[in-house]
Amino acid sequence: MSEVKTINLAKMSFNEVMQQFEAAVAEFDAADLDVEQALAAYEKANSLLKELEARLATTKSKVEVVLKASE
Amino acid sequence: MESTQLVVSVSDCIALVNQTLDAAYPALYVEGEVSSFKINHNNYVFFDLKDAEGTLNCFMTVYQLRVPLEDGMKVRVLAVPRLTKWGKFSLTVKHVAPVGEGSLRRAYELLKVKLTKEGLFDEDRKRPLPPNVETIGVISSTQAAGFADFCKIVAARWPLAHLQVAHVRVQGMGAADDIIRAIEYFNAHATPPEILALIRGGGSADDLAVFNDENLVRAIAASRVPIIVGVGHETDETLATLAADVGASTPSNAAELLAPDAHELLQRLGLTKKRLKDGLHAKLKERLQFVRHQRQSLHERMSAQLTQLSAQLRSYRQLLAQLHPNMALSRGYSLVRHNKKLLRDGRTLQPGDQLSIETSRAIINSEVLHVRSKDDQLG
């Protein structure tokens, strides 16, 4: 089972997902001739990438006034 | 007649005058030039406020003094008029701010020198902007033009941004305290925003003087959460900007600095995606070639071994062929059998025994005539 499936992406911040993605890319680059390792890293990077893209596509920025100084 | 007249003690008289003053002038803004400025015991500030016609004594605590003062500086004070217990009239100052470009500039320079010496603006104190921020604590007036620009640019660049806004006054008396409270509010959160953005559009030097308030500058430098300050126009430099982790030139610039460009990021991600895909294909191709090469090399080694083995077999076959009895028969030797058994000795044969003699081409049945031992002959 690839490691990605055991991580709850929904609970992670964008940055955390990004860091996981960068780690998977580094893992892929380090795999060299080990195709099995490269394939696992590729699959992991791909799922994380989909999550990043989905978040950027579906989220909308919001503005919320949390503190109002007395004037 | 005399008994109906109001007679009060000196203290009551002073209190009475002060009550009257309080009712008439609960707070007065007075503008003038500072002279005889001094700080006593590091606690109390005394100075005179004067113009061409008159002079007023002023008193305040060091804590309330938020900008550096010196003689000759033109200031505006917010003060309560007071008759002291020594019968002297003075202004109890609540707030003082330099007025006029020269005084503002001078106060700015004095405070800048002081805080630089303390290391508040040192580069090594500055923290980098967190990447891909999701929560941004914005400290600004929601009515300010700079705030609208900031929000617009952030929203256009970075859809993940959640702006938690502290609406504060960004100019005039009380603004610095509002901003300080907002900084403290965000810092006190269990999960504070990833970054604070102090935002205000352009304005006169007087408007922006809030951002040179000593307490505010110190609060910015002390913030646990990194702060970006985007105040005024490119040409405006405030001490708040210098103390910030990142000093932006304008609100728009602050938005661009802290909000990543989602389109650019998506493009970069796309490129990485392609690189990974191509890389995987290359790795698989490389692996396939490796396997092919291995198979080829195995094949070659196998056929070399087979060739060697068949050569060996050939030579064995030749050797065996040499050893075959037929070869001996063809050379003129014969096989003699007695009772179907090869005869190796023959000394026990008796005349009349039947022999079968095999040559290369015939089998001859014969009879023993007589037997003579070779040993006898040799002997």
A62 in B contact zone (CB under 8 Å):
yes
Confidence of residue B75 (pLDDT cuts 50, 70, 90): very high
Give Dmax (Cα) for chain A. 67
Confidence of residue A2 (pLDDT cuts 50, 70, 90): very low
Closest residue, chain B, to A58 (C-alpha): B159
Contact B272 A14 (CB under 8 A): no
pLDDT in tens, B217-241: 999 999 999 999 999 888 888 999 9
Q: To probe the interface with A, which of B283, B286, B294 has the most A CB atoms within 10 Å?
A: B283
Coil, strand, or helix at residue B368?
A: coil
B161 in A contact zone (CB under 8 Å):
yes
Q: What is the value of pTM for the model shown?
A: 0.74
Contact A63 B272 (CB under 8 A): no
Closest residue, chain B, to A63 (C-alpha): B163
Contact A69 B163 (CB under 8 A): no
Q: To probe the interface with B, which of A42, A46, A66 has the most B CB atoms within 10 Å?
A: A66
pLDDT in tens, B4-46: 788 899 999 999 999 999 999 988 999 999 999 999 988 999 9
A60 in B contact zone (CB under 8 Å):
yes
Contact A49 B273 (CB under 8 A): yes
Predicted complex ipTM: 0.84
Contact B276 A67 (CB under 8 A): no
**Residue B166, Cβ density class (10 Å: 0-12 exposed, 13-18 middle, ≥19 buried):** buried
Q: How far apart are alpha carbons B221 and B198 in whole angstroms?
A: 13
Q: Which residues contact B59 (CB under 8 A, 6 or more apart)?
A: B44, B45, B46, B90, B91, B92, B93
Place of tokens 């504060």: B168
Q: Which whole number is the average pLDDT over A59-67?
A: 90
pLDDT in tens, B135-189: 999 999 999 889 999 999 999 999 999 999 999 999 988 899 999 999 999 999 9
Q: How far apart are alpha carbons B336 and B358 in whole angstroms?
A: 6
* B135-140 sheet: strands from edge to edge: A62-68, B162-167, B135-140, B195-200, B227-231, B246-248
Q: How far apart are alpha carbons B20 and B195 in whole angstroms?
A: 49
Task: Work out the minimum CA distance from B144 to partner chain A, whole angstroms.
Answer: 14
A53 in B contact zone (CB under 8 Å):
yes
